[in-house]
């Protein structure tokens, strides 16, 4: 899933803190690179490559083959590689806010479930509130230019993780 940078950092930091184990493919990381280049013209090609290379390095052990022929019929051609990587990497779920993909996976004969980003983050919260708090603290500590407070970071996560933000405030 291509997500806003703050949500992406949340997911990568949660992985870094062993709250879950992701499965990605080189095709997905290529898509991230294309999207960053297209949607963020203020980023230089060097900055985009640096970010994606850092993601490839951090996720090196989580990269699965994405042979689209592995995906069941009924999955949109644009998303077959995502489902194929999940199946090949023995994932149990796909995190995506794409309702169409969710409906297609639900109708296909797989054991995969599709969760929205917020629902997935909520499962992380349910499993480890202390872990999610550690993720937020790590993100605050990383934000040096400009520095952010915990409250500012939580506000930045609000549009993407409303249920987790609500839980963090309780």
- Give the number of other CB atoms < 10 A from CB of residue 151: 10
Which parts of 17-149 fold into alpha helices (H)? 26-39, 45-58, 80-88, 99-107, 117-127, 129-142
Bridge partners (DSSP) of residue 115 are 95
Cα–Cα distance measured from residue 152 to residue 50, given in angstroms and rounded to the nearest whole number: 26
Blockwise average pLDDT, block size 10, the chain, 170 residues? 74 94 91 87 90 90 89 92 93 92 92 93 96 96 87 91 89
Q: What is the pLDDT of residues 117-127, one digit of tens each?
A: 999 999 999 99
Q: What is the pLDDT of residues 29-62, one digit of tens each?
A: 998 899 888 888 888 999 999 989 998 998 899 9
pTM for the structure as a whole: 0.84
Bridge partners (DSSP) of residue 98 are none
């Amino acid at each position: 899933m291509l997500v806003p940078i703050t949500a992406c950092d949340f997911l990568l930091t949660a992985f870094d803190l062993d709250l879950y184990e992701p499965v990605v493919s080189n095709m997905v990381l290529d898509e991230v690179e294309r999207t960053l280049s297209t949607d963020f013209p203020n980023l230089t090609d060097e900055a985009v490559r640096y970010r994606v290379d850092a993601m490839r390095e951090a996720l090196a052990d989580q990269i699965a083959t994405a042979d689209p022929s592995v995906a069941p019929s009924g999955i949109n051609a644009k998303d077959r590689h995502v489902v194929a990587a999940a199946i090949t990497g023995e994932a149990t779920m796909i995190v995506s806010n794409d309702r169409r993909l969710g409906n297609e996976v639900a109708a296909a004969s797989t054991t995969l479930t599709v969760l929205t980003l917020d629902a997935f983050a909520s499962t992380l919260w349910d499993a480890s509130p202390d872990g999610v708090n550690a993720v937020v603290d790590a993100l605050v500590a990383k934000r040096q230019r400009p520095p952010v407070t915990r409250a500012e970071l939580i506000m930045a996560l609000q549009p993407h993780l409303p249920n987790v933000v609500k839980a963090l405030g309780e």
